[in-house]
């Protein structure tokens, strides 16, 4: 039996995440790490799928009118590489990503992107629920201070490093 076909899925690695409103990050090198992974993937001739978040909230740095929705230069899609625009956390909702992966015979996903506890986590969980085998590349992901708002219970913010690690711990084993 041949090995399952793998694809790289890059989630929301966009210029908007350089906006200072996101606050402190746990991994300032996530985009560059994702870029190195992408270069390796392309050199191997393996399939690549790009996902971009287009917020419907006009106040979001990820809203199309901000002019910051472009992909980070380290992971800019090449002509012919599919791009999926989404408006919710999951890369599978409102897109043809699942159908396109299945049509290509993909069974195994390698996922990286921004941010770990939000769109990356949701996409990983849903991919596993849909029956894909998932690997998450933790050093090509990041959490930001905005992901770590604890003001609702203690008036502060948790360290993004802790939020990133907690999200990885929750995904490990069951989903990735």
Q: Do 108 and 4 meet the contact criterion of CB atoms below 8 Å apart?
A: yes
Q: Which residues are catalytic?
A: 119
Nearest to 90 by CA among 120, 70, 116, 114: 120
Cα→Cα distances 105→37, 74, 98, Å: 21, 27, 11
Cα→Cα distances 25→129, 144, 147, 148, Å: 29, 4, 10, 10
How would DSSP label each residue in 35-99?
A: HHHHHHHHHTT--EEEEEE--S-TTSTTSGGGS--SBPGGGPPPTTS-EEEESSS-TTTTSSHHH
């Amino acid at each position: 039996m041949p090995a399952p076909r793998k694809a790289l899925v890059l989630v929301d690695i966009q210029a908007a995440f350089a906006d200072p409103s996101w606050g402190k990050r746990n991994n300032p090198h996530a985009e560059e790490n994702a870029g190195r992974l992408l270069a390796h993937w392309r050199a191997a001739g393996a399939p690549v799928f790009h996902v971009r978040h287009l917020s419907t909230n006009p106040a979001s740095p990820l809203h199309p009118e901000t002019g910051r929705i472009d992909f980070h230069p380290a992971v800019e899609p090449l002509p012919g590489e599919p791009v999926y625009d989404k408006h919710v956390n999951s890369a599978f909702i409102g897109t043809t990503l699942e159908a396109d992966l299945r049509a290509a015979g993909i069974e195994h996903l390698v996922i990286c992107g921004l941010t770990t506890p939000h769109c990356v986590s949701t996409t990983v969980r849903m991919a596993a629920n849909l029956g894909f085998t998932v690997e998450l590349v933790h050093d090509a992901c990041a959490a930001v201070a905005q992901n770590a708002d604890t003001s609702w219970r203690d008036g502060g913010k948790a360290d993004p490093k802790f939020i990133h690690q907690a999200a990885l711990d929750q995904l490990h084993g069951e989903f990735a």
